[in-house]
Each structure stands twice: as C-alpha cells, then as structure tokens.
Amino acid sequence: MGRYSGNAASIEALIRPTQVHRDVYIDDEVFDLEMKHLFANTWVFVGHDSQVPNKGDYFATEIGRQPVLMARHTDGDVYVMHNRCPHKGTKIVIDREGNTGKFFRCPYHAWSFKTDGCLLAIPLKKGYKDTGLEDSEAARGLAPVGAVKNYRGFIFARLNPEGPGFDEFFGDSLSSLDNMIDRSPEGRLEVAGPPLRYMHQCNWKMLVENQTDTCHPMVAHESSAGTAVKLWESLDKPEGTTKPMAMEVIAPFMSPYEFFEDMGIRTWPNGHGHTGVHHSIHSDYSAVPGYFDQMVEAHGEERAKAILGENRHNTVYFPNIMIKGPIQQLRIFIPLAANKTLVESYIYRLVGAPDMLLQRTAMYNRLINAPTSVVGHDDLEMYERAQEGLHSDGLEWVNVQRLYAEGEDMDETAVENGTTERQMRNQFHAWKKYMTMTMGAAQ
C-alpha cells in the first residue's frame, strides 16, 4: 500500500484553503484513487441520447477508466452497463458506436445479452445444468452501472450503487444545461458529427480549472487572438465592412481584465460553477435572421428574451465536463493517467433552429478546440509546461488564492468577481469530499 490508499486524512491534507499539493496532479497513486473513488462516487457524463437514436444503437465510452456501453433498449430507454462479458471478460463491443440489433453477442463464446444487459442465451446451455450458474454473477448479464439519469437527453451515470442522488449532486447548476437545451425552439438537441479528439500530456484537472481561469486568455492567447485582432485592423477594408464570423469568435479572447472581472463567476455546491454571470465572450455575436422569431413563437417573447439573455461562458459540471450554453458545445476531459488526458469536444444542433447557429458552433469548435487550432496550441503548451514544472522540488504547492475570503463556504451558491479562483477552490473542496467518501480512515 502507498501513502494515500485507505488513508483519507492524507488525501485531505493535499487540499488547503488557498493551495493544493502537486501530488493531486502528478502522483500515480492519487490518480488511481481518483478512478476508484472520485469517478465512482460522482455523476459522470456518458453521452447524449441522440448518439443512440434507434433501438439497438450503442455508444462505447469510459467512466473514469471503466469501459461502459450506452445502449437504446427495446423499451426506448437508454441503459448504461459495463462493456465486459460476464463469462471471460471480453469487451462486448470494440468500435465506438453502431447498432447491435436486438441483442449483444459476445464474439468469443456467443453468450448473448438483451440491450438492457440481461443475459439472453448461452450456447450448449446443458453444460451448465446443475452447476448453479443461475446463482452466479455471470448469469446476471452485463453488469449495470450504479445509477443512470437521462436529463433532457444528457445521460449521466454513477458507478457506485450508493451515493448522492442526481438532483442533490447537481442542484441549481442544471440551469446551465436547461438554458442550452431551451435555446432550441423545440427544446431538443442533437449531436452534430463526431467530436474533436485532442490528446494532452497533462493532468485532467488542469483542463477543468482552465475553464474558469479568466486571467489567462489575454496572456496565453495573445499569440492567436491578439494576432487576429492586429491582422484585422491592418487589412485594407472598405468602409463599413462587417467582422467575419471568425473574428467574432476569436477577438473576445483579447478582452481586458475589466471585462472578465465584470462578467462574474457563480459557484454551486459539489464543485460546479460557471463564468459569465452578466455577460461573456459569447454575448456579442451577430443575430441570426429568423431565430428570435422562432424562439418567440415557441416560448413567448418574455421567455425567449430570458433564454437568449443568458450568455453563460463556461459551465463546469464536476468532475470532468464543461458546456457552453450559448454555442451548444460540450467538452469532456477524459482522464487516462496522472499526466495524460483526452479531450473530446462535441457540438450539438439546436433542433428547429437556423443552420447558421450550428455553422458558428462548428467554427468555434475547430478554431478554439482542435489539435490543429491556434488557440488550442496556446493552451496545451501551458498545461504541458505546468505538468513538467510541477516536478520541480523548489515548491510543492500550487496557488489558488485569487480573491480568497477567509471562511468561504462552498456549500453555499455564490456570485463573485469574474477573476476569482473560487471555482477552482470549489472543485478541490468537492474533490476532497468525493475522494474520501468511500475511503475510510487510516488503517
């Protein structure tokens, strides 16, 4: 046993009010414990139900390091189960998505399972007669995850059978998901194409923290957004030339500190929070012809204005996703190792809304979050430098002190100056809670 296993006190000691120990980012044992505890005790995003529109459709992914399957069953519901044959352990599916028909069939010995995971048939079953198979784990089929919730199309799962309820875990933070979905005149989203997949040689939490880090854009992105602004200004343009969509997307990254201070940050209990309480880098996009009228028709004018008046920037759903309501983007920070994270960036179509909105969203995704994106290059360089730098023995602690107030209570929702690091502290507060929840005391 290492220093941290089964020793909740040693995990708690890594988190101080204004700093966190580097082991949360670089220690392999801490990472293993995150997979075992944090990702089992929390509600983790699995996928969107539009990825499995038809009966028999499946989507294979991971919760933490656990391979899971999300499938549309014959009853129309979406089930989440472990992607592991109960017989010999073979992964049932190896591709990322597809349609399995009425049942899953293990390619090794042809054990078959209904699309809700229940055992359907075993070849030459007489070989198990009087062996007590019916009392074995194997007879129960593909192991289900602890709990599943389909929240307006977004599928979340908790691996542990016991733990916080969905509503208790997310609370008022669901208002950000609601706002993203309500932006469809039909109240429905559909995934639009495959995600960007971007490999990062750094810890997953660096990415989550970056989502509400409002003091880096004007610095780290000077090379991309700053160059874009200068280049646009230097071009010979006829009077009254409108800014192209790409400039609307990228230029706000260069907004001054005051802009980010004034935009505000809201934190919710359990590690959730968002930037852009009052306005955000998504506030000043050009109106899309016809869209507002559709929204008024669907929701009434007052409600339409309220929905579109929200311009939340990044909403972090602890532990490992971020959504952008105004542009219908969702990013998953998939932990692979203490120093390795896969980032998948999905976009969604607002069902019933003009295509131009999706066009802007697709542009945002490729300009900001692709492995070929200049903004992405800026960020990844910083994460990887941090991952390397943390191995320096000069200091062992990482500072998260900006706008700290003594006695701050993370169980209370709060709205603060947009440059506070309170949301990072909020995440570590939740991290400590869900890491130690099932860990027990020192032995």
Cβ neighbourhood burial of 241 (10 Å; 0-12, 13-18, 19+): exposed
Binding mask 274-313 for other proteins (x = CB under 8 A): ----------------------------------------
Among 366, 402, 413, 414, binds other proteins (CB under 8 A): 366
Query: Least distance from C-beta 305 to other proteins, angstroms?
Result: 27
- Nearest residue (CB) to other proteins, 227 versus 417: 227
Stretch that binds other proteins, among 119-127, 266-274, 354-362, 422-430 (CB under 8 A): 354-362
Give CA 78 to chain center in angstroms: 19
Cβ distance 254 to 219 under 8 Å?
no
Query: Least distance from C-beta 256 to other proteins, angstroms?
Result: 17
Tokens of 36: 């075992």
Among 381, 396, 409, 411, binds other proteins (CB under 8 A): 381
- Nearest residue (CB) to other proteins, 165 versus 244: 244
Binding mask 175-214 for other proteins (x = CB under 8 A): -----------------xxxxxxxxxx-------------
- Nearest residue (CB) to other proteins, 68 versus 367: 367
Strands 397-399 and 196-200: unpaired
Stretch that binds other proteins, among 9-17, 23-31, 34-42, 379-387 (CB under 8 A): 379-387
Strands 66-72 and 19-21: unpaired
Nearest to 117 by CA among 161, 173, 63, 75: 75
Query: Least distance from C-beta 363 to other proteins, angstroms?
Result: 8
Stretch that binds other proteins, among 102-110, 115-123, 291-299, 353-361 (CB under 8 A): 353-361
Alpha-carbon distance 102 to 366, whole Å?
37
Query: Least distance from C-beta 377 to other proteins, angstroms?
Result: 4
Binding mask 213-242 for other proteins (x = CB under 8 A): -------x-xxx-xxx-xxx--x-------
Q: Does 342 bind other proteins (CB under 8 A)?
A: yes
- Nearest residue (CB) to other proteins, 52 versus 358: 358
Hey, which residues between 3 and 22 contact other proteins (CB under 8 A)? none
Query: Least distance from C-beta 54 to other proteins, angstroms?
Result: 20
- Nearest residue (CB) to other proteins, 120 versus 229: 229
Query: Least distance from C-beta 234 to other proteins, angstroms?
Result: 9
- Nearest residue (CB) to other proteins, 5 versus 201: 201
Hey, which residues between 382 and 421 contact other proteins (CB under 8 A)? 382
Q: Does 365 bind other proteins (CB under 8 A)?
A: yes
Looking up tokens 């733990």 gives 163
Please tell me the count of residues contacting other proteins according to CB under 8 A: 46
3-state secondary structure the chain: CCCCCCCHHHHHCCECCCEEECHHHHCHHHHHHHHHHHHHHCCEEEEEHHHCCCCCEEEEEEECCEEEEEEECCCCCEEEEECCCCCCCCCCCCCCEEECCCEEECCCCCCEEECCCCEEECCCHHHHCCCCHHHCCHHHCCCECCEEEEECCEEEEECCCCCCCHHHHHHHHHHHHHHHHHCCCCCCEEECCCCEEEEECCCHHHHHHHCCCCCCHHHHCHHHHHHHHHHHHHCCCCCCCCCCHHHHHHHHHHCCHHHHHHHCEEECHHHCEEECCCCCCCCCCCCCCCHHHHHHHHHCHHHHHHHHHCCCCCEEECCCEEEEHHHCEEEEEEEEECCEEEEEEEEEEECCCCHHHHHHHHHHHHHHHCCCCHHHHHHHHHHHHHHHHCCCCCCCEEECCCCCCCCCCCCCCEEECCCCCHHHHHHHHHHHHHHHCCCCCCC
Nearest to 42 by CA among 382, 373, 271, 331: 271
Among 217, 264, 376, 418, binds other proteins (CB under 8 A): 376
Alpha-carbon distance 271 to 191, whole Å?
26
Query: Least distance from C-beta 139 to other proteins, angstroms?
Result: 37
- Nearest residue (CB) to other proteins, 139 versus 362: 362
Stretch that binds other proteins, among 27-35, 104-112, 164-172, 340-348 (CB under 8 A): 340-348
- Nearest residue (CB) to other proteins, 107 versus 194: 194
Positions that interact with other proteins (CB under 8 A)? 192-201, 220, 222-224, 226-228, 230-232, 235, 244, 246-247, 342, 345, 347, 349, 355, 358-359, 362-363, 365-367, 370-372, 374, 376-378, 380-382
